[in-house]
Structure 1
Amino acid sequence: MAVCVSSNLCHFKWRISFFVCALVFGVSYGEVRYVLPEEMKRGSVIGNVALDLGLQASELQARRARVVAEGTSQLCELDTASGNLLVSQRIDREELCAQASICILQFQLLLEDPLQAFSLVLDVADINDNSPVFATGNVKLDLVESTVLGRRFPLESAHDPDLGTNSIREYKLSHNDHFSLEMSTQINGNTYPELVLKRQLDREAKAEHVLEINGIDGGKPVRSGTAFIHINVLDVNDNVPVFSQNVYKASVPENSVIGTLITTLNATDLDEGIYGEITYSLSHLSDKMGGLIEVSPLTGEVRVAGVIDYEEASSHELGVQAKDGGGQASHCKLVIDVIDLNDNEPVIEIKSASANVAEDAKVGTMVALINIYDLDTGSSGRVTCSIPDNVPFKIFSEVKNYYMLVTDGVLDRELQSEYNITVTATDSGSPSLSSVKVITILVNDVNDNPPTFTHSQYNVNILENQPMGTLVMKLEAQDSDDGTNAKILYHISRETNSEVSSFLTINPDTGELFTSRLFDYEQSAHFQMKVAARDGGDPAFSTTCTVNVYIQDQNDNAPVILYPVQTSGFIAEDVVPIEAPKGYLITKVVAVDPDSGHNAWLSYRIIKATRSNLFMADLHTGEIRTLRTFTDEDETKHAIVVLVTDNGRESLSATATVSIRLSDGLPVLSELYEFVEETKGNDNDNLTLYLIIALSTVSFLLILLISGVFYFNLCRRSYVYRSNTSSLPVFPSTYCTSTLTDFSRCGTLLRDDRYDPFMTTGSWRGDFRFGSNTDTDTLKKRSAAYQKNTLRRLSTERPSLKVRAGPTHPCYVIK
């Protein structure tokens, strides 16, 4: 006897048509769907991904293409050389999808540089690789001999993991005279065999019947399974247990504790004694249900015996048997619905992440592809994803369960070189669950910052005559970039004058400046150059700074005697009246020092004279005056040796020989000695003035102060009255030719911004005037301009000084 169960053939053909349409649709929208049979050999070709996606096979290898699984093991792999998708592990549809009608495996094809994702869907088709199997190879039935004809005895169905035509198609019962086999349908549409009594049993004729039942599938080749039914004929037990319901329905929350009561079964038997004692048991338990549910044999209480997970199965349909002591049994169905709880946190998987991103990356550059899913269902399975607001990134989704992390602002490595981005996935359950994963993104440096010097201008002093290679200073520039972009090389800028650029050399690595020649303050007191710092980026950035080098004077020049002119074999004579009184100005030793500042301050003293008590030399001006009046005993000719020394740390000196001749016929000029008496008078007046000031009122002090300010302003503008120079002694033109009116770089008169010369009070009264051949106008103009410019500058810089050195090269000749 054979019973057919292949009613799902038309549904299977419809699904095949649907898969073909889905394949075409998937390719057109960035998704490729392949239908493949299970149990393919490893290395078998599923399909050519490159061809189906319109990509070049060489592009797959260049972009480091790979296939990643979504929530499953890696069952396939990509051959980047050919673009073929290959089977890498055993694909067993029954293991992957159990009894699901459609077995879909989701994969992602990821390509990097740039990052791109395609969806790959594998539809695993069933093959007839499993034989039907009965859970119990030997079925025992105890039937009373009075069992009515047509009585049905449900049998456990054979189990075949295959689907469609490959599953159970029919059952066959071995030939016998008493029983036939018929099919019955459960509420879920599944069929199962029932043994139907066709002829009255007679225990005395035959106490035991052994039947063979075969479960046959519809595959090619056909597979079958066999079980044996052992029927014991008992004496009359004419009542069977009866359940209060044909179908029991119950629900239980997932993750309920072991022992939780689900429902209670209830069956009754009108017989008494052993025939009325009922025991309960479960039948048709699958492998997954084994150990999850248990029933009390005596009370019929159904309780939780293991971990019930909604994600494994949302409902369970069980067969329940009530059997009395006489061996008769009845069956009913128990349907248990599992209530889903929010017991699964969202899963965050980083499918592809570019750990580094350039700081000049454009907005929208993708740095990571994230797969987020939740095993729960309904609102508990809806997931929202977020990242902090204070990072220049954003996250969004274009494909279900896949999120892209992209740049959303300007990146600056110098401000922040690393971002630890916290990705938070939260479901909509109650209470909601969330999971967190941190993605570290490193910002790669680009050369976007030029080097910077601490100052735009540097001033440095160096003594003249220093040996070549002397360290002048060390320049240092900073670059906020990193690596080679921050490596700085120094060089003298091309903006620097070619002659000046040869004065110094620079170490390109350290920025140290060294002298490359000997410096002479008398030749050049200051020069300026530009130094450039260039980083190692591509393209490179550079910046410049200005270095002002001031040459400091050393006392390396001895004083030079201008007057009296010292020539071999000839010394000019100065004639003085024999009636000259004490303090009479005879002549003046004029000397200059090419040095500057203190090194050029000159002192005069007589080191040798015909008579030691007759003449004196002014320490600061070099004026030669009489110490007393001449007598008849004094010689008419005198020779005086004057030592001129400078004020350097190791002073240098020169000597001048002055020849003086007394003359009886010369008139005595009052201008050359009146200052002595006048000075004494002025001293007394000053003393009286100080006494008056000390006793004056505040108003008188104010008037005196205003007068003083007005007086000094006139002095600065050279408006102070000077006596007529027509009566002054003449500086012979013989000793000062027109070429000596401008001495180039003579240090005593050279401009110096760091030292100030000082004159004694009233020294202008002892000046000489030049002969007619001397170009004094030029000297006066230069001297006036010098005083005007110098005094104006001193008024703001150093108010305590009276006079400051003037322009670059003027040289005073005393007049």
Structure 2
Amino acid sequence: VTYHVCVLQFLSAHSALGQVSYSIPEEMSKGSMVGNIVQDLGLDLKRLQSGKARIFTEDSTEYIELNKERGVLLIKEKIDRESLCAKTTPCALHIQVILENPMELYYITVEVTDINDNAPLFQTEEISFEISESAVTGARFTLERAIDVDVGANELKSYLLKPTDHFVLDLQNQAGGDKRVQMVLQKPLDREKQERFTLLLTANDGGEPVLSGSVKIHVTVLDANDNAPVFTQNVYKATLFENASKGTKLTIVSASDADEGSNGHIMYYMSKTLDSLSDMFIVDEYSGDVFLNGQVDFEKSSIYELEIQAKDHGGLSDTCKLVIDVLDINDNRPSINIISKSNYISEDSKPGTTIVMMKVNDPDSGINGKVHCTISENIPFSITSPSNNFFSLRTDQELDRESNNEYNITVVCSDEGLPSLSSSASLYLTISDVNDNAPVFERSSYEAFVLENNTPGHSIFTVKARDADLNQNARVSYILEDSTINGVRVSSYVVSVSADSGVINAVRSFDYEQLKDFHFRVIAQDGGSPPLSSNVTVTITIQDQNDNAPQVLYPVQTGGSLVAEIVPRSADVGYLVTKVVAVDVDSGQNAWLTYKLQKATDRALFEVGPQNGEIRTVRQVTDKDAVKQKLTVVVEDNGQPSRSAVVNINVAVADSFPEVLSEFTDLTHGKEYNDNLTFYLVLALAAVSFLFITCVVVIISVKIYRWRQSRVFYQSNLPVIPYYPPGYTDTGVTGTLPHMYNYDVCMTTNSRKSDCKYSTLGGHSVLMVDPSFSETMQREMRDKCLLEDHNSPELVSYFLCYVINILNISNYAACHEGKFLAG
């Protein structure tokens, strides 16, 4: 007996792990000594006895026993290596020696070596061949292989064929280390000289002494079949799931014979083997179809190799190899074996203390046999694997009896197959007593939503903290941490908290437009001495209500002069009359605005874009349409309930200014005409004749000097475009526009004509504008009026527009195809 020792020490102080290996030959008599574990593992006989040493094996078969009085391992049953491991090498027994108080585990590996106790064996005593006398030299005839269950040097080594007058033996290596045994015709046969003769095939192993087995080969010489069957492949491969049902078709083997008639008719046969594969697999002798005839088990064998022979009626044959790979399915659940466990553990046990040791085995392969074990969550234990298939349950953190004085732990061991199979084991553990728990909030942070305009004293929500301690130590009080919001103390101005219940109340009514959200901390403190506490952040989000109506920015509604939008009678369908611009300081859908035409002198003539507020013509303007058109547009938000604003718009349908003036005279200042404006108009008309020649010179000069600037206005083909000041969009203010912004409008009145309109919106200065910008705008407007074609018959009207701008006599002026309108 030879052996070597390899001891490994790890795990915690409560468990030890060592390993020792021995090597013994098979067929040792009962009671023979395997090894001295006391000496090899450095143990003491007293420790072996006091620790109640015992042997643990994975299955019920036990070939080795422990003699605790001597501290040695003995042969309990005679071991036959071939029965135990078949062809598997090395063949080893894996046992574990377990000691208690403290818990210790040792691995023992006993390798069983082979002795030459099996001779090569042929499955049949005789082999018969019928060979045509026309068989050519070199024709091959496959012979049955001998089987030797020994391994290594004792396994099958050579074959011998006698006599060799007509045939010689040829051995060919195959995948897997096997040899194909064939006899090759080296001398032509002559049926007339010798019709029958007998050969002897002997197989020898490599043992000492050499063992052998033999089989007789009877050869009958037939007449005239000179072509042997030939398989299309030397090796066929097939795959098979281990749960395949009986009758499953695996593959088709096929051979061809160049002969005709009965000499070309091929029959298929399954070669006999030691493993009785002919009972597990069958081949259709006519078609070559191979079927499963039994039940395969991947755990017993993962690969099968069959020899299939194709033989014609003349006795010629060929042999192919069929390799069947068995695919594993996850059909075995992990088995859990508890090696040792403790039922009680102290609360002050250090993390890493081993409680339970177990071994988990899954006979499946690959991921189907890869096992991981888990335990219930939120318990102070963890499960680890110190070695292959061994698992230890340990304390993972400090134990707390006040949290839980007992644990019913369920260990679930699952493989990684699809679907996964699992097994479970329940472990009951009692914890013996300390006090070390602070209050814990149910959430790591809180968030609440409150509608604006709430009632002061309104209950917002409740924070809750729990203390795992008992009695006074578990009594929780809630305190609002002192902090400020915009310089105001939270506790005195914003919210308050109930000390007993944790209910948070609003101290005042909130306004979304002023305060959108804020946060503060709540402290939970227990009644212990000294007290323990924890805190949590609470975020309050104010939700918007529809408490603001839309505000119309354009057109501006004033008590002074009323502005009329001019629509020429030549306007096409879709002509842009003007655009209503409104904003809502609310948020979300409360600020979504919809424009509706409430009233109109002629509803069939105008429409309002529901989303953009653009007023356009619906049909072609005709001469029959009234010059004076009044529109009332309602702007509604999308709140519940919705709020609205109304804007009145005057539209003049006319091609000449006098016509417009006559219709809208009653709109100005309660139908009173502006006397000052009339005076300036008369004065301007009187000065036209005097300034006409000067005007022509100025037009030519300015047209040359200001040509590039005038192109911006002269060639503009844009629709009515409001001018929004910088900062119109402010991410810091919720709503469609900040409160502080209004704007002026500079626009064109007709995208198809060379004209312009400049407005200060009824004389109200609603936007702070840079003075240089205002001067530039007025200068450009004056230039625009002067730059019109000086040959136009309406030059006088343009000049009048220019004079009025210089005198700044009107709050609203427009130049439009030589027409003039002042309000």
Alignment TM-score, normalising by the size of structure 1: 0.49
Q: If you compute each CA radius of gyration, which structure gives the higher value, 1 or 2?
A: 1
